[in-house]
Amino acid sequence: MVNYTAAHEVALEKFRACSLADMARCSGYPIEGNTLSVDFLGGHYNVEYPSGQFWSGSVPTPSDELPVFTQILILHYLANLNESVETGTLISYKELPGGSIYIQPFTHRAIDPLVRSFGANPDRLLDVATRLGGQFNGLGDMGVTFRVFPRIPVTLILWRADDEFPASGNILFDASAPSILPTEDYAVLASAVVFGFKRISAEL
C-alpha cells in the first residue's frame, strides 16, 4: 500500500500558504465560514481553513469515504492560484507534460476500467454524467463532459464493440490542464471519476 503521509503534508503546507479568499476566487468554490464548500463526484465536503481538515456534515470525513489520495488531489486544486483560461481544445493524457511516459499506467488505471464498466452499455455513462451535471458532447458512440472541479472538465468517450473491434474508450482534458494540476494528478483524477461513476451507476 502506498504511503501518502508525506504527500499529504506537502499538500497541506501549500494549502495553508494560500489565503482563503484567493483559493475561493481561483477554485470556483464558495466560502462558508472558515471553510471552502466543495462538491466532488456527488459528495459535499467542507475543507476547513487553515487545518485542511475535510468535514462531511458536522463530523470529520472518514478515510473510507474520501481516501487520502483524493484529499491530496482536492488540496492541490484548491492551492493552485493560476487563473488560466479554458481553451476548448482537447488533449490526451500523453500530451500532458511527461504524460507519454506514463500512458500505459494511465490506460490501466482509468481508460480500461471505463471500458469495462460502461463499454457494454454506453448509455449508462450518460445517465451517470447527467445526474452529476455533466452533458453529452457528441464524441464517439457516447461522449460526455463532466466538470470534476469548476475549472477542470473531463471528457469521457466510448466506442461500442462491433464485429471487428472490441469496445474502446478515451479520456481527454482541456489544453489548460497542465497549468492547473501536475500530470500525475490527472491519473488520480481520471481514475476517481471512472470509479465514482461506476459507484453511482450501481446506485441508480
Domain layout of the chain by residue ranges: 5-79, 90-203
In this prediction the pTM is 0.94
Mean pLDDT (whole number) for 113-117: 98
Question: Is 70 exceeded by the pLDDT of residue 63?
Answer: no
Residue 4 binned pLDDT confidence (cut-offs 50, 70, 90): confident
Mean pLDDT (whole number) for 48-64: 84
Question: Is 60 exceeded by the pLDDT of residue 157?
Answer: yes
Helix axes 68-79, 183-203, angle to 10 degrees: 120
Please enumerate in sequence order all residues whose Cβ is within 8 A of that of 46, keeping only pairs 6 or more positions apart, or say none. Answer: 32, 35, 36, 37, 38, 54, 55, 56
* Per-residue model confidence (pLDDT) at position 65: 80
C-alpha closest to that of 49 among 6, 15, 8:
15
CA distance 53 to 65: 14
